[in-house]
Amino acid sequence: MRAFDAIVVGAGPAGSTAARELAAAGARTLVVERAAWPRYKACGGGIPLRAERMLAFPIDGVVEASVSRIEVSAGGGAAFAKRSPRGPFARMVMRDRFDALLAEHAERAGAELRTGTQVRGLDLDGRVRIRADGFEAEAETLICADGAHSPVGRMAGLGAGIAECAAWEVELRGRPRARGVAEATALIDFGYEPRGYAWLFPKAERLSIGIVLPRERAGDMKALVERYRARLGLADAETAIARGHKIRLRRGGEPIAGERTALAGDAAGLADEFTEEGISYAIHSGRLAARAALRALGGDGDLRRYQASVEAEIQPELTAARIIACMFYGVLRRAPGPWLFAAERTPFLWSSLFAVQRGESSYAREAQRTGPLAAVAAAVLRRRDARERAAALPRRRARP
pLDDT digits (tens, 9 = 90+) for 1-42: 899 999 999 999 999 999 999 999 999 999 999 999 888 888
Q: CATH 3.30.9.10 residue ranges in the chain? A: 64-92+163-249
| pLDDT mean over 344-372 | 93
Predicted confidence at residue 178, as pLDDT, reads: 45
How many other CB atoms are there within 10 angstroms of residue 396's CB atom? Answer: 6
CATH architecture of 64-92+163-249: 2-Layer Sandwich (3.30)
> At residue 120, does pLDDT exceed 50?
yes
**Is residue 267 very low, low, confident or very high in pLDDT (cuts 50, 70, 90)?**
very high
Q: In this structure, are residues 159 and 269 in contact, taking their beta carbons and an 8 Å threshold?
A: yes
Q: Looking at per-residue confidence, does 318 or 392 come out higher?
A: 318
Element (H, E) at 385: helix 372-392
Lowest-confidence region among 205-214, 262-271, 330-339: 330-339
Q: Looking at per-residue confidence, does 134 or 212 come out higher?
A: 212
> At residue 175, does pLDDT exceed 90?
no
Order of strands across the sheet that contains 6-9: 112-114, 29-32, 6-9, 141-144, 261-263
Predicted confidence at residue 398, as pLDDT, reads: 45
**Is residue 390 very low, low, confident or very high in pLDDT (cuts 50, 70, 90)?**
confident
Query: Cα Rg for the chain, rounded, in angstroms?
Result: 21
Predicted confidence at residue 14, as pLDDT, reads: 98
> At residue 187, does pLDDT exceed 50?
yes
Predicted confidence at residue 176, as pLDDT, reads: 54
Please tell me whether residue 71 adopts helix, strand or coil conformation: strand
> At residue 331, does pLDDT exceed 80?
yes
**Is residue 340 very low, low, confident or very high in pLDDT (cuts 50, 70, 90)?**
confident
Predicted confidence at residue 285, as pLDDT, reads: 98
% pLDDT > 70, the chain: 96
Question: What is the per-residue pLDDT across 40-92, written as a single tens digit (0 to 9) for each?
Answer: 888 889 999 999 999 999 999 999 999 999 999 987 777 899 999 999 999 99
Q: Which long-range contacts (CB under 8 A, 24 or more apart) does 296-304 make?
A: 296/140, 296/141, 296/260, 297/5, 297/6, 297/27, 297/140, 297/141, 302/258, 302/259, 302/260, 303/141, 303/257, 303/258, 303/259, 303/260, 303/261, 303/262, 304/257, 304/258, 304/259
Q: How does the average pLDDT of the chain come out, rounded?
A: 92
| pLDDT mean over 283-307 | 97
Indicate the CATH number of 2-45+94-160+254-313 among 3.50.50.60, 3.10.20.440, 3.30.460.10, 3.40.309.10: 3.50.50.60
Instruction: Give the global pTM.
Output: 0.94
Reference 19, options 3, 38, 1, 32; nearest CA is: 32
Reference 263, options 271, 273, 255, 252; nearest CA is: 255
Predicted confidence at residue 159, as pLDDT, reads: 96
Chain mean position to CA 374: 23
Q: In this structure, are residues 114 and 104 in contact, taking their beta carbons and an 8 Å threshold?
A: no
Q: What is the rounded distance in angstroms from the CA atom of residue 9 to the CA atom of residue 399?
A: 48
Q: Rounded to whole angstroms, what are the CA distances from 383 to 176, 321, 349, 379?
A: 44, 17, 26, 6
Residue 38 DSSP label: S
